[in-house]
Structure 1
Amino acid sequence: MLNDFNCTCPVYIACGYTDLRRGIDGLANLVKTQFQMDPFQRALFLFCGRRRDRLKALYWEGDGFLLLYKRLESGSFQWPRSTEEVQALTPQQYRWLMEGLKTEQPKANKAVSGLSVI
């Protein structure tokens, strides 16, 4: 489900560790109080535990929350641990994360902001 998530909505990850014992209300409250964001917006919020082999996703469907839980059988997610803030992901970064890669790939081609004439 999460690997094939093709929503045009923004994707946010909570950097650092999150206590995955939290349910819908606890994660929605974390989005609201710690990140000063609206949990009722059409966005996918991702949270990862200390072991980095499990994550929870919170998504508002318009009439209720969807809570997804994923546990990897082997390997781990390359989750940013440096800060306790929220980070927006591009669709490409989201795919990298779900494939077990880091969200920042130094050898990836970067988007060009303006055209230059040769």
Structure 2
Amino acid sequence: MIVPPTGVRVWLANGHTDMRRGMNGLALQVQEALQRDPHAGDLYVFRGRRGDLVKILWHDGLGMSLYAKRLERGRFLWPSPADGCVAISASQLGYMLDGIDWRNPQRTWRPEMAG
């Protein structure tokens, strides 16, 4: 993924989204359902029903970009629909895209000794 500038806000859309939507359909969803401006420079992340696919919508000031990532195994961790639109940091987004629990990242293995 192209690295967004520092300080950019990342929003997770609640629930699941129809992954057949393209950038225009997702931008309309940001505007109508989330009540936010899709052209403000924030990243909007949408998850499919199965949970193994996310799409990220981003307007960088020059144009709209749409990124997609599918996990080969496992699912993306997602907040409950009752939480609404959740804001996370760019580093938490990086954890999420790597399949790591972004809410509480923990190192899974650390070497005991060298050699």
Structure 2 length as normaliser, TM-score?
0.79
User: How many residues were matched structurally?
Assistant: 105
Identify if the C-alpha distance between structure 1 residues 19 and 98 changes in structure 2 by more than 3 Å, giving closer, same or farther.
Answer: same
1:10 aligns with 9
Question: 8 Å contact 2:69–2:97 — kept in the other structure?
Answer: no
Structure 1 length as normaliser, TM-score?
0.77
Name the aligned partner's letter for residue 5 of structure 1: V
SS at match of 2:87: strand
Question: 8 Å contact 2:71–2:99 — kept in the other structure?
Answer: no
Q: Deviations over 1:76-98 (max 9, x none)?
A: 21122333721110233223312
Name segments (4+ residues, structure 1) moved above 4 Å.
none
Mapped partners of 1:82, 1:93: distance in 2: 19
Identity level (%): 38
Identify if the C-alpha distance between structure 1 residues 32 and 96 changes in structure 2 by more than 3 Å, giving closer, same or farther.
Answer: same
| Structure 2: 5+ residue stretches without partners | 107-115
